Structure 1
Amino acid sequence: MYYLPQPPYFLIFAGLFIGLTCGLAFEATLKSQVKAMLNKPADQMLKGSGLQLPFFGICVGICVFLSSGLEIFILNRWLSYGLSLPMTIFIAALVWIQLASVLKQLKEGGSKAIDLDAFY
């Protein structure tokens, strides 16, 4: 008799919960430290800011959520983690670089440095 494993529904909800709670912590930390970061040199803005741990938690939660969702359709845990881990690392690196760029623009020219009319 063939045994069909149960889908990891708990891991889907756990990954989503981890990602959301770490996202709220990231938001609170960013709001509370943005003024202090603007007083630092431009190349040291994200180093030692306390944003790394919540951001890492967001990445772990999203990786678990994504791999569990893929595991429902692929039915292979190694393949689903093999796909979701590099994708999460790549997207996390892009988001971190973009955050550093936006904070650098804010430091150089304030909120007027970010041209919001270009998006509309």
Structure 2
Amino acid sequence: MKNFKWVSRKKTDEVATIYESNITLNKSATSYLEKAFVVLLGIDKEKHLIAIKPIKRGDIELEYIPKDQRHNITIKSSYSRISNKHFIQDISKLKELNFEENNYYKFPAYWSESEQSLIIELNKGEM
């Protein structure tokens, strides 16, 4: 048994799946956003990164964020979803995603302590 590496049945990689109208995050990625009331969506067009910043209910920062920058997030036990078709269209143009050809695209994600945001790496290529 010395040569065996025991693996967990839980997949811990954070994955974002981009559909034509929403971004769906797997359970591991959702764990960083579980307490979010709303989220902010950001895009770095040079580095091809998306940032999802959770904002909690009662957070002082919330009152300073314009309502049109607050995005609803639906959180379930095994995934979360952020719907914003216009944002997805911007991403589609940037990364040339063709939803008529593919129903969805998967990208790796990670938590950034410095940004206090979940970062989706569009530059890593589809998974």
TM-score, scaled relative to structure 1 = 0.25
More helix by share: 1
Which structure would you say has the larger Rg? 1
- Which structure has the highest strand share of the two? 2
